[in-house]
Amino acid sequence: MDATIKATSDLLLLRGAAPVSPFGLIARGRSDIDRLKTAIESFGYYQSTVVIKINGMLVSNPSLGDILTALPAGDDAQVSISFRLGPLYHLGRIDIDGEMADALRASLGLTTGQPAVADMVLAGGARLLSTLQEQGYAFAKVDTPVAFESADEPVLDVRFHVVTGPKVNVGAIHVEGLKRVHESLLRKRLTLHTGDPYRPFLIERARNDLLALGVFSQVSLQIGTTVDETGGVPITFKIRERLGHAIAVTAALSSDLGGSGGVTWTDRNVFGGAQQLSVAASVINVGGSDTTGVGYDTSVKYLTPDVGHRDQSLQFAVTALKQSLQAYDQTAKSASATITRKISAVWSASVGSSVIDEQIIQDNETLFYILLAMPVGIAYDSTNLPNPLEDPRHGIRAALSLTPTLAIGHPNATFLISQIRASTYFDLNELLATGPGRTVLAGRALVGLAKGAGETSLPPDQRFYGGGSGTIRGYKYQSVGPQFPDRSGPIGGTAIEVGSLELRQRFLTNFGAAFFADAGQVSSSLHKSDSNEFRVGVGAGLRYYTPIGPIRLDVAIPVHRRQGDDSFEFYIGLGQAF
């Protein structure tokens, strides 16, 4: 109530931004009395009184204007606002004027004896209307409630007038605004059909589902006001298509991997069926303490939605990669095909196949491989965010992947790489009495294991490495794990275990900070624990929140610093670390 009153008073809100003449100040005070009384009554205090004084005199005093005008130039007027709340009113009888089932009446959610707060009463009416519509009464009306004050006690009797109207189904479905996208795609995609029960929840879900195609900037609904020739309510989806092509520019910088930058060109709707073609090219490893040369990362991807089944997409990709790292130098070309199936709102699964032709140089030895892999994965995401760069406040993200691989090289090897990644987010607003999303505790875990090949027979790029922004911040990229005997570089391991904890705090409007700790190890077995190889990194960072996600700057230090480790590492990027 205090916050509402302060937000209602013009005297308070405009005292520094819009100073006025003495008579203007008096007029502002007099109008404040009505506004503040209305605000207090909305909380159930219907016998309240608002008293406003300027320089100790009531704003209703007819001589106040002359007295203020006579003040010396530059003097500020002293304004005081005081309240006498009176008794808190409660609800008495609650009547609904209209024919409906008792179960529908219960959705009003109001009970005799509760405080007569206006918002709660109005919300009850809105809740009743929503329930009626979800039951198929598309033309139901719930009028603004009428309140009757008791003459003997602070009690309000409330009456709602309700007209349910007929119970109807979904009528004809129309689509307007399409230009390049074929209407047949939308008709195939729609989860809503003529003759279905009328339910606003299902209609809204169908609208969001069309937006998820990625080719529309806006999908709005127009609901008919009368029954059409089908006997149902006509529904029109009004479409606005996104621009057919898009160009995105990316950049990142860290002390271990150096700088990177790239451009991605996308055609969002190649043949009218929401097919997406993306061509990307990036320069990577520009400088950095853990790189030995500039590299590149290029790709061409083509994605077709709803292949063979709704919510099932097929993606073909061709990539070329070159990177020069302390662990190894790699030049690779790959081709892959992946089918992804959305199982539910939170579950998805994928299966694919890929072939990689690569050359790797490690410890002055040149190795050639052809890798034939069939990755299988399942993912869970309850954060309910359409954009992965957005700041998660609650929920869980988890993924399990299994990648059986045949490596043809020197030596040949057959192995299975399994990984489990999980991150979770807790909004601490109720615990700390802060605003929603202002204080978030985030945690992540990574467990990986390669079976069927040892460290030496496993291709170097298929081994696990720790260190860097994706695992243990504060240590150089890929520097955590087994080393060559002369410590000339990391060998990599067949198992990894990593965990992180991060506290994210927003302040002001667009700024924030983070405090984090990462810990883990890379070894030859998940059951092998070596305290000498276990590494911990701690640090802090700043965030600047933009409409497309937070810009992140993190600085981390290694707790167990070894010979060759830097005293700190920094990371700059778009989006949270996880």
Q: What is the CATH number of the domain that holds 97?
A: 3.10.20.310
Residues 130 and 231 in one domain: no
Residue bearing the bigger pLDDT, 103 or 127: 127
Over residues 378-389, the mean pLDDT reads 89
Q: What distance in Å separates the CA atoms of residue 179 and residue 428, rounded to the nearest whole number?
A: 46
Check if the beta carbon of residue 340 is closer than 8 Å to that of residue 377.
Answer: no
Residue 253 in any domain: the answer is no
Give me the residue label for tokens 């990894």: 496
- Give tens-digit pLDDT for 9-35: 999 999 888 888 899 999 999 999 999
Residues 544 and 437 in one domain: yes
Residue 498 in any domain: the answer is yes
Check if the beta carbon of residue 311 is closer than 8 Å to that of residue 336.
Answer: no
Q: What is the pLDDT of residue 313?
A: 96
Check if the beta carbon of residue 458 is closer than 8 Å to that of residue 474.
Answer: no
Per-residue pLDDT at 418 exceeds 80: yes
- Give tens-digit pLDDT for 83-100: 999 999 999 999 999 888
Over residues 207-230, the mean pLDDT reads 93
Residues 469 and 558 in one domain: yes
Residues 434 and 539 in one domain: yes
Residues 102 and 153 in one domain: yes
Token representation of residue 341: 């199936």
Residue bearing the bigger pLDDT, 327 or 471: 471
Q: What is the pLDDT of residue 391?
A: 87
Q: What is the pLDDT of residue 56?
A: 93
Residue 531 in any domain: the answer is yes
Q: What is the pLDDT of residue 427?
A: 95
Residues 505 and 522 in one domain: yes
Range of the domain at 115: 90-163
Residues 332 and 183 in one domain: no
Q: What is the pLDDT of residue 385?
A: 87
- Give tens-digit pLDDT for 444-494: 999 999 999 877 789 999 999 999 999 999 999 998 988 887 767 788 899
Q: Which of 142, 163, 184 is the last residue of a domain?
A: 163
Over residues 146-167, the mean pLDDT reads 93
Share of the chain above pLDDT 90, in %: 77
Over residues 552-558, the mean pLDDT reads 96
Share of the chain above pLDDT 70, in %: 99
Dihedral sign of CA atoms 377, 379, 385, 391 in order: negative
- Give tens-digit pLDDT for 500-551: 999 999 998 899 999 999 999 998 877 666 667 899 999 999 999 998 889 9
- Give tens-digit pLDDT for 267-317: 999 999 999 999 999 999 998 888 889 999 999 999 999 998 989 999 999
Residues 477 and 539 in one domain: yes
Other CB atoms within 10 A of residue 518 CB = 29
Over residues 396-422, the mean pLDDT reads 94
pTM for the whole structure: 0.77
Residues 56 and 79 in one domain: yes
Q: What is the pLDDT of residue 203?
A: 96
556: domain CATH number?
A: 2.40.160.50
Check if the beta carbon of residue 224 is closer than 8 Å to that of residue 232.
Answer: no
Q: Which of 84, 101, 119 is the last residue of a domain?
A: 84
Residue 216 in any domain: the answer is yes
Q: What distance in Å separates the CA atoms of residue 306 and residue 185, rounded to the nearest whole number?
A: 9
The CB-based long-range contact list for 535-539 (8 Å cut-off, 24+ gap) reads: 535/466, 535/467, 535/472, 535/475, 535/480, 535/559, 535/560, 536/472, 536/560, 537/472, 537/473, 537/474, 537/475, 538/474, 539/473, 539/474, 539/515, 539/568
Residue 297 in any domain: the answer is no
Token representation of residue 208: 């969001």
Q: What distance in Å separates the CA atoms of residue 60 and residue 460, rounded to the nearest whole number?
A: 85
Say if strands 569-574 and 49-54 run parallel, antiparallel, or are unpaired.
unpaired
Nearest alpha-carbon partner for 213 in 275, 278, 277, 300? 275
Q: Which of 146, 163, 180 is the last residue of a domain?
A: 163
Q: What distance in Å separates the CA atoms of residue 473 and residue 515, rounded to the nearest whole number?
A: 12
Residues 400 and 508 in one domain: yes
Check if the beta carbon of residue 353 is closer than 8 Å to that of residue 479.
Answer: no
Across all residues in the chain, what is the average pLDDT?
92
Residue 149 in any domain: the answer is yes
Q: What is the pLDDT of residue 75?
A: 84
Q: What is the pLDDT of residue 132?
A: 95
Residue 268 in any domain: the answer is no
Residue bearing the bigger pLDDT, 164 or 525: 164
Other CB atoms within 10 A of residue 260 CB = 21
Give me the residue label for tokens 């077995």: 525
Q: What is the pLDDT of residue 32?
A: 95
Number of domains composing the chain: 4
Q: What is the pLDDT of residue 528?
A: 65
State the pLDDT confidence band at 335, using cuts at 50, 70 and 90.
very high
Residue 262 in any domain: the answer is no
Strand partners, 407: 371, 413
Residues 346 and 475 in one domain: yes
Q: What is the pLDDT of residue 530?
A: 60
Residues 122 and 192 in one domain: no
Q: What distance in Å separates the CA atoms of residue 355 and residue 338, rounded to the nearest whole number?
A: 12
